[in-house]
Structure 1
Amino acid sequence: MTGHVNSYYAASANPHAPWPRLEEGLTCDVCVVGGGYTGLSSALHLAERGYKVVLLEASRIGFGASGRNGGQIVNSFSRDIDTIERNCPPAQAKLLGSMLFEGGEIIRERIERYRIQCDHRVGGVFAADTERQLHELKAQQARWQRWGNDRLELLDREGIRRVVQSDRYVGGLLDLSGGHLHPLNLALGEAEAIRSLGGLIFEQSPVTELVPGEVVTVKSERGSVRARFVVVAGNAYLGNLVPELAAKSMPCGTQVLTTEVLGEARARELLPQNYCVEDCNYLLDYYRTSADHRLIYGGGVVYGARDPADIARLIMPKLLKTFPQLAGVRVEYSWTGNFLLTLSRLPQFGRIGSNIYYMQGYSGHGVTCTHLAGRLLAEALAGQAERFDAFANLPHYPFPGGRLLRVPLTAMGAVWYSLRDRLGI
């Protein structure tokens, strides 16, 4: 893992000064393991509170999902508040519900406070292929309004045709508190904010061992960090550094491609208001246009995080089903990025001992929830752990069949849900 993958985001990243490799022994208040959104958000919130922070990244800042995702600011969690209310005690559900839209608010605040240039645009659409999905979106609108989101508009067939120039959908839900951005530039901007507050960041510094104790020793290949607290934020790229975390989660790959430059007029013909879109299928499609007027289109899941040989062959049929008017368009970039799936589809927060914290498993819904996670981690270290514990007290289920069977069994479940989507049931 020496550098970013050959993605559109890497090719269009803002210029930035590099971060060094750790080649010494350091002491700090908090050592953060992982330079994606979870680690960056944690380090930035902690640095703002005056903690001495060291962040270690095995490759480059934003190397994983944080620098490769669809770039969509989508509210709530991978399982919405109705699932949480059915399965959690009322007090816990109320706390979690109060945080449904906070992650997006944090992102917007970060962009404004630190003047991060990441092509932020307002507005996201959930698109319904079927009447059943549209009915579910109407229920989602009512739920989100009940929890304080008053920036929602239900779209009928004519309404969604005004925001997505496709005959594919029967309706949708517009969320003006959602939006989209350049995800790698957001990560790089947050890293620069950490640097401006005195935080230390080291790239090309994979962690090889955590030695627990009252002061934890974090060993890297050429150096080490001694810290009162450690934040484990490697997510799908953590490997087996902490075996007990790997046992209850599964890395999965999703594929993204970027077209050639379409030009502003053609891009606005596809998405007139420049909103981002995701559909409501179990294996969903998601897409938006870039600042230089390309179409960025992603979809599908590869369980176990294998890299497909021909990403365009997997994604182009989905793109052309949505926008047949793009037949013959040239693909200039395609890549895979891994996210971490949990059985419950809810994130896993917790502690190992008294001073090693972890947050992981956003199940494809990580852009906003990772930013919330960093704030809750900083609160917990400052002695206000109630909101962190609302997540930490969610059950962490093992996958049926253990690590050997988690991929085939999960894939079988996905086939069933995909069949339901196609049949409209």
Structure 2
Amino acid sequence: MEHVQSYYAASVNPHAPWPQLNDSIQCDVCIIGGGFTGLSSALYLTEAGFDVVVLEAARVGFGASGRNGGQVVNSYSRDVDVIEQRYGKESAQLLGSMMFEGAAVIRDRIDRYAIACDYRPGGIFAALNGRQLHHLQAQRKRWQQYGNHQLEMLDRSGMMREIASERYVGGLLDHSGGHLHPLNLALGEAEAIRRHGGRIYEKSEVTSVQYGSPHQVTTATGNVSAKYLIFAGNAYLAPHLEPRLSRKSIPCGSQIITTEPLSADKALALLPNNRCVEDCNYLLDYYRLTADNRLLYGGGVIYGAREPGDIKELIRPKLLKTFPQLAGVKFDYAWSGNFLLTLSRMPQIGRLENGVYYMQGDSGHGVTFTHLAGKLILEALKGNPARYDAFAKLPHLPFPGGRRLGVPLTAIGAAWYALRDRLGV
């Protein structure tokens, strides 16, 4: 399988491919999945001297890592106030201390390895009503308490200086957020892994795993023996490989379009300071400019990852509601990508067997959390698992009825919250 026909695939940096696994090999750590979770883990581990093999069923960055909105958004899908309510103050303090680490890891990777991925600083959370603006004001206070002092509240006029849209009553600008070309980031990280001696195999779908000492990971044309095994497939992990993981999550689809290239003046008239934006609705819209002055716009969720019939017509009314001045603009690219949703909306990381780890279910905040996760797995394998275990100790609950019933039940719940968004309550 090749990369989906997206703007990212069409504008990808030149890169050498990785081979298919056609042999029986040994390593310290075998990672299943060549997206951000697997790549971040592999890069941290190879830097530390581990012998690492990454097995990717398709191409590096094939899944959500190479298809997402490209927004570097801090925190988790549930903020630290919800974490404290559910899991207690101690969990909130430990997880809160890591909220901004993933974005810092990304910036460090870009600088250290000179990854050309069009990084631009600054992300805006946009409030559509007074209730959402009040929530952002409280979020700013919480984030400042955990060390993020790069936050700026915007009133309506401030939002108009940032976004040429009349939809918003205010917002929160996080100067430590930002946006980038995610597929180019993934490929740059993969090249860094190669330079450190890590081995990546594309088109090497795992067909079975056998736990033991060592663990055996089999593909159609090869086999890997490893002391440690990491499941990092997220929404694209075949459910039969490890049913204990698939029962705890459901894949969800998100859709994105990009316009034709706009003139520099027209593009910067939309977003004068080139920030990325996401609104505060439960089923949120998100958008930004690309390096060649296209507007990239995504929104909505399809539970169960069903492919919609016409992505352009699904997203067009959302885009025009925000930017009616773009009526008549052409769309050059439209695509879907799946992310993995958990019942708690918190990431799931933990252990299955001796030396078998998993990291999944970032619930829409995967760009930043996956980069933190790589750091946490390194700490765990080096004998300091406290921060890894802070997430592993959270309840990883299965969806009621499994994926078959979890999808419609979650969609019903989302429809209720979407109604509340429309009513502003």
Q: TM-score range with shorter-chain normalisation?
A: over 0.9
**Equivalent residue number for residue 389 of structure 2:** 389
Q: Contact between 2:39 and 2:190, CA under 8 Å: does it hold in 1?
A: yes
1:383-403 deviation line (CA, Å, top 9, x unaligned): 010000000011011212322
Separation in 2 of the partners of 1:111 and 1:354?
Answer: 34
Equivalent AA in structure 2 for residue 403 of structure 1: R
After TM superposition, the structure 1 = structure 2 runs for residues 210-359 of structure 1, keeping only pairs within 5 Å, are: 210-240=209-239, 241-359=241-359
TM-score norm. by structure 1 comes to 0.99
Unaligned runs of 5+ in 2: none
- Which 4+ stretches in 1 moved above 4 angstroms? none
Q: Counterpart in 1 of 2:175?
A: 176
Could you tell me whether the CA contact under 8 Å between 2:284 and 2:300 is conserved in 1? Answer: yes
- Residue 399 (str. 1) matches residue 399 (str. 2): yes
Cα distance, 1:279 vs structure 2: 0.1
Bigger mean CA offset, 401-410 vs 271-280:
401-410
CA distance in 2, matches of 1:91, 1:259: 46
1:9–1:67 CA contact under 8 A, matched in 2: yes
CA distance in 1 between partners of 2:2 and 2:330 (Å): 26
Q: 1:414 is matched with which residue?
A: 414
Amino acid at match of 1:419: L
- Cα deviation, residue 277, structure 1: 0.1
Cα deviation, residue 89, structure 1: 3.1
C-alpha separation between the residues in 2 aligned to 1:174 and 1:122?
A: 10
SS of the residue corresponding to residue 28 of structure 2 reads: strand
Q: Does structure 2 retain, via aligned residues, the 8 Å contact 1:263–1:292?
A: no
Distance in 2 separating the partners of 1:37 and 1:396 = 21
Give the conservation status (yes or no) of the 8 Å contact 2:46–2:196: yes
What's the CA shift for 1:354? Answer: 1.3
Give the equivalent residue in structure 1 for 2:424. 424
Shift of 1:88: 1.6
Which residue pairs with 2:127 in the alignment? 128
Give how far 1:165 is off.
0.6
Structure 2: distance between partners of 1:202 and 1:398: 31
Could you tell me which amino acid in structure 2 is paired with residue 118 of structure 1?
C
For residues 403 and 184 of structure 2, the distance between their equivalents in structure 1, rounded to whole angstroms, comes to 35
**Aligned-partner Cα distance in 2 for 1:288–1:300:** 16
1:94 positional shift: 1.4
Q: Which amino acid letter does the alignment assign opposite residue 346 of structure 1?
A: M
What's the CA shift for 1:93?
Answer: 1.9
Q: Tell me how far 1:90 sits from its aligned partner.
A: 2.6
- Count of residue correspondences: 424
Asked if the contact 2:81–2:92 (Cα under 8 Å) also holds between the matched residues in 1, the reply is: no
In 2, the alpha carbon distance for the partners of 1:403 and 1:368 equals: 26
CA distance in 2, matches of 1:403, 1:317: 30
Describe the SS at the equivalent of 2:4.
Answer: coil
- In structure 2, the residue matched to 1:40 is 39
Q: Which amino acid in structure 2 is aligned with residue 189 of structure 1?
A: G
- Supply the distance in 2 between the matched residues of 1:253 and 1:88 (Cα, whole angstroms): 29
Q: What is the CA–CA distance in structure 1 between the aligned matches of 2:50 and 2:327, rounded to whole Å?
A: 53
Q: Find the counterpart in structure 2 of residue 371 from structure 1.
A: 371
Question: 1:276-333 CA deviation, whole Å, 9 max, x = no partner?
Answer: 0000000000000000000000001010001111001110100000000000000000
- Contact in 1 for aligned 2:128/2:169 (Cα 8 Å): yes
User: Residue 263 of structure 1: CA displacement?
Assistant: 1.7
The Cα offsets for residues 244-286 of structure 1, whole Å up to 9 and x where unpaired, read as 0000100000000000000211110000000000000000000
- Determine if contact 1:77/1:365 at 8 Å carries over to the other structure: yes
Q: Is residue 65–residue 182 contact of structure 2 (8 Å, CA) maintained in 1?
A: yes
Aligned 1:75-114 pairs, distance under 5 A:
75-114=74-113
Distance 2:401 2:211 in 1: 30
Q: Within 2, Cα distance between the matches of 1:84 and 1:44?
A: 29
Aligned equivalents of 2:22, 2:265: Cα separation in 1: 51
Note the C-alpha offset of 1:360. 0.2
Corresponding residue SS for 1:75:
coil
Q: Distance in 2 between matches of 1:278 and 1:311?
A: 19
Residues of 1 paired with 2:358 and 2:336: CA distance? Answer: 25
- Provide the rounded CA distance (Å) in 2 between the counterparts of 1:154 and 1:173: 5
The within-5 A match list for 1:51-62 is 51-62=50-61
Asked if 1:66 is matched to 2:69, the reply is no
* SS of structure 2 residue aligned to 1:9: helix
- Alpha-carbon distance in structure 1 between the residues aligned to 2:212 and 2:327: 60
Please report the RMSD computed on the Cα atoms of aligned residues, expressed in angstroms.
Answer: 0.6
2: CA distance, partners of 1:210 / 1:343: 26
The answer as to whether partners of 1:54 and 1:200 remain within 8 angstroms in 2 is: yes
1:368 deviation in Å? 0.1
- The offset of 1:95, in angstroms, is 1.1
What amino acid does structure 2 have at the position aligned with 1:123?
Answer: G
Distance in 1 separating the partners of 2:207 and 2:351: 19
Look up the match of 1:3. 2
DSSP-derived class of the 2:22 partner: coil
1:332 is paired with a residue of what secondary structure?
Answer: strand
Query: In 2, Cα distance between the equivalents of 1:297 and 1:276?
Result: 10
Counterpart position of 1:152: 151
SS in 1 for 2:13: coil
Q: Give SS of 2:59's match.
A: coil
Alpha-carbon distance in 2 for matches of 1:158, 1:71: 26
Letter in 1 for 2:25: L
* Superimposed CA distance per residue, residues 21-48 of structure 1 (whole angstroms, 9 cap, x where no aligned partner): 0000110000011000000000000001
Distance 1:256 1:92 in 2: 35
